[in-house]
Structure 1
Amino acid sequence: MATLTIIANIHAHPDRIDLVRAELEKLIPSTRAEQGCINYDLHQNNDDPAHFIFYENWESRERWQTHMQAPHLAAFGAATKGAVAAFSLSEMTHIG
C-alpha cells in the first residue's frame, strides 16, 4: 500500500499565534515517535504568521487514523480551544 501524505492547515486567531505555535510544537516529539510516522514537519507561513502547515507522511492510513486518536492530539484541542480560527486537512497520495 502507498504511503499516505497529510497536509494539515491550521490558522490561529491573530492574538493567539504564540499559543497555537507552542502547542503545535509540543505535538512533534510524541507524533514522530508513533508507529508508522515517516515524517511530521511543522511549517509557518512567512507572509501570514497565523498560518501553520503540518506536512506528514504515514506508512498507512490506518497508522494515521491511530494517530488521530492519540491523547496528545486531544490535549492540543483542549489547550487551543477558541484559539484556532480554521483547520483543514487533505489526505494525499504521492504520484511522482
Structure 2
Amino acid sequence: MITVIAEIKVKPGRREAVMREIEKLLPTVLAEQGCVSYVPMVDFNAQVPWRKTAPDSIFMLEEWESLSHLEQHQQMDHMDQHRATIKQDVLDVVIHILEKA
C-alpha cells in the first residue's frame, strides 16, 4: 500500500472552484481499481508559531494498493479531462508518494 499527498497550488481566490471540480470527480476515482481512499483537504487555520500556511492549496490524501494502481489512475480519461478543466486555476502540483518505514 502507498500513500500519496498531492499539493495542488491554486491561484488566489480559485480554491473553491477547483474544490467543486474535485468533488465531482470523487465517486469516479473511488470506484477505480486499487483506490483505497481519495480525500481532498485544505489548510487548517491553527494559530501556532511552527505552522507554514498554504491558504490557496488543496491537499489530496490518497491511498492506493500499489504504484501500478496509482499510475493507472494518472492515465485515466477522467483524470485527463479533470486536469484540462482546472488547468487555468492551478499554478503547480507537488506529489509525494510515501510508504511505511
Query: Do Structure 1 and Structure 2 share a fold, with TM-score over 0.5?
Result: yes
Which of 3, 7, 10 matches 1:9?
7
Tell me the alpha carbon deviations over residues 35-91 of structure 1, each in whole angstroms, 9 at most, x when there is no partner: 111111110113444211111111111011100111111111111122101210011
Report which of the two structures shows the higher radius of gyration computed on alpha carbons. Answer: 2
Q: Counterparts of 1:1-96 in structure 2 under 5 Å? A: 3-47=1-45, 48-95=54-101
User: Alignment RMSD, CA only?
Assistant: 1.3
Percent identity over paired residues: 31
Taking structure 1 as the reference length, what is the TM-score of the superposition? 0.88
SS across alignment from 2:88: coil
Distance 1:78 1:27 in 2: 13
- Count, aligned residues: 93
Large movers: runs of 4+ above 2 Å: 46-49
Distance 1:39 1:23 in 2: 17
SS across alignment from 2:4: strand
Could you tell me which runs of 5 or more consecutive residues in structure 1 were left unpaired when the two chains were aligned.
Answer: none
Distance 1:61 1:42 in 2: 20
Whether the aligned pair in 1 keeps the contact of 2:15 and 2:58 (CA below 8 Å) is no
Distance 2:4 2:15 in 1: 22
2:48 maps to which residue?
none
